Amino acid sequence: MSRKLTLNLFALLCLALTTSVFAAAAEKAKKVEVKGMINDRTGDMLTVKTDSGDVTVVLTDDTKTKDNRGLIGAREQEMGDIVLIPGLKVDIEGTRDNKGQVVAKKINVDGDDLEASEMIQAGLNPTAQQVAAQHQAIASNEQRIAQLEATIKEMQGAQDRFARGDAFDVKGQATVNFGTGSTALSPADQKQLKQLAQNANKLPNYLIKVTGYADSSGDAAMNTKLSEDRAKAVVAYLVQQCSVPVRRVVAPGAMGEYGATGSNETEAGRAENRRVEVAVLYPKQGK
């Protein structure tokens, strides 16, 4: 009787071990890596252009986005999903779901690609001095220059499609104004942002685009930084106070003194230009 019990226990142990091995193997088989450029973004979905075709990537609350900096990625900086904009090159680790989509666990971005992508997103172009410095730094490698120019052109094309809003309808808008040199949100603007967020959170797969501006007081570099800080202040309020998931917010744009809607020659015009524009984007039918 004791021998029979021992054999039964041994059989159960073997079965459990076999099941565990197969489960682990199945889980490992589902793990995938996707390398390419973000071609489109719709809510929690990214379309990533790879050498083997487009791949649909799903973002979740557990998705971690990191910027690899330093030699061979020796130093990592974690950041929010707001940086995941069309035109950005990514290296994604995740698992394949039953729909064939990749559920992202970790997304790695390159600091240099991120900087160039954010520049294009903001509607800015490198100055002649910046281009000359870049070319001088890599003058010994003409192939690298050609690759860089091709990459910028490809990124520009992807972001142009996104910026035009060809794939989105605007479901809500708000304009937040600021005092001179200030990034503080007034109670009235906080109220309108809360209402905008409440309406947006009723929609599936929405995105919120945030773009900051400044008047022409001060130099251009300072105004660009100020417009960026204003956009970030709005994003922080939407995420922290309005329950907007950070992955729903597109990387904030910083237009500086460009894109003025009022005359910078008058106080009223300058007050109009010190603003952040917020738009709720919703995929058009068929997207």
pLDDT of 73 reads 40
**Spatial distance between the Cα atoms of 174 and 254, rounded to a whole number of angstroms:** 17
pLDDT of 9 reads 56
Class of domain 31-163 as given by CATH: mainly beta
Domain ranges of the chain: 31-163, 167-283
The amino acid occupying position 37 is M
pLDDT of 186 reads 96
Q: Which two tokens stand for residue 9?
A: 């226990």
pLDDT of 118 reads 56
Class of domain 167-283 as given by CATH: alpha beta
pLDDT of 74 reads 40
pLDDT of 227 reads 95
Residues of the chain with pLDDT under 50: 1, 21-22, 24-26, 28-29, 70-75, 124-128, 287
Q: What is the DSSP string of 30-46?
A: HEEEEEEEEEEEETTEE
pLDDT of 156 reads 54
pLDDT of 124 reads 46
CA proximity to 283, closest of 13, 60, 43: 43
pLDDT of 173 reads 96
pLDDT of 231 reads 94
